[in-house]
Structures are given as C-alpha cells and as structure tokens.
Amino acid sequence: MRLLFFGAQGSGKGTQAKIISKKIGILHLSTGDIFRNAEGELRKEIDSYILAGNLVPDELTLKMLEKRIYQDDCKEGFILDGYPRNINQARTLDEIMGIDYVVEIAISDNVAFERILNRISCKTCGAIYNIRTLPPKEKDVCDKCNKPLSRRADDNEEALRVRLSIYHREIEPVLKNYKTIKVSGEQPIEAVTKDILINIGYR
C-alpha cells in the first residue's frame, strides 16, 4: 500500500505517519528525514533553503526521493510524508507510481502557530514535545533517550509565516489533484489515528 500524507506545519502528519506505518506494517518515508540524512555539500545546500523557510528545489528533491523509494524496504509499500509539494511534483510522481490513498490532516493557521512556536525536539531520536501541552518530564531533556532537547532553527514566527504561505499556495492545488481523505488534526492523536485507519480500510 502506498499513501501520501499532507498537512501544514504542526498538523501532526509526521507523528501520524509513524503511528500508521507501524500499525499496518509499511515504511514511513519523510522527505525531511531524507534531507537531514544528507551529507557534505549536499547537506549545506539543503540547509540553506530550509533555514530560510523555503522549499528545496524540485530537481533536488526528486533525485533524492527516487533513489530512496526503489530500495528493497519499500517493496511492500510506504507512507510518503512531505511530498509532493507542488502540482508539478504531483504530476511527476503520478508518472512513476500509483498511489492508493491521499490523507490530509487539517488544522487552522492559529493552531499551527501555537504548536510550532512551542515545539522542542530531540536531534538524537526524533521525539517531539510541546512546552505547553506535552512537555518532557525533565526540562530540555528527552524522555526517551535522555539527550538534550532543542528548537529547530526554522521554528520561528517569520519562517513559519513563510512556510504556511507556501503551503497554502503550493500544496492546496496538489490536494485538488487527488481524491483526498480529510481528517481534523485538531483532535487528540488517538482520534486522528482512528479516523485515518477507518478511511483506509483498517479497524
């Protein structure tokens, strides 16, 4: 099974992709993780776009993604989180593979700001916390691996405004290209998971 997950920053799409992938036994692929795993000059080039709140260019994204999805661990399917990011990418993706379900996790911009501006994360294990609604047990220390927590460099108000503007301008036309399952990301995590599973045929 191949799924696409969409949602604005702070929607919880990455969290849901991880949960759903484990429940149905397929791989979770995040373009963000693929970018962060890049090395050397390629990593510097990617960081220059991300830190400014801009999207990584299509050609670079597609090159890295194509290499990843044809590896053996993707044969049973995957959840693709963070791609396609514009209508041209969507059309290119449609040419190289079929997609079974497209899921949009919807939240308001106000909720996105509240979540992102209070977000801290662990660079070691990837765990994410919210200092207001889901704080770690010990301040600035990850509950899972006891490593330091920090804010992402692009989790600031100016960069978030740019990212949300890009999302509305670029991603919303992509969603119109597909028959989309839309669920509210403003529910508790468990409720969002349940809605997604029901809509893709799992109970």
Query: Mind telling me the catalytic residues?
Result: 13, 85, 119, 152, 163
Which structure tokens are listed for 61? Answer: 């994204």
Exposure string of 56-71, with b = 16+ CB inside 10 Å and e = fewer, is beeeebbebbeebbee
Sequence-separated (6 or more) residues with CB below 8 Å from residue 55: 49, 61, 85, 86, 166, 170
Tell me how many helices (H) and strands (E) the chain has: 9, 8
d(CA 183, CA 121): 25
Helix axes 58-69, 87-96, angle to 10 degrees: 30
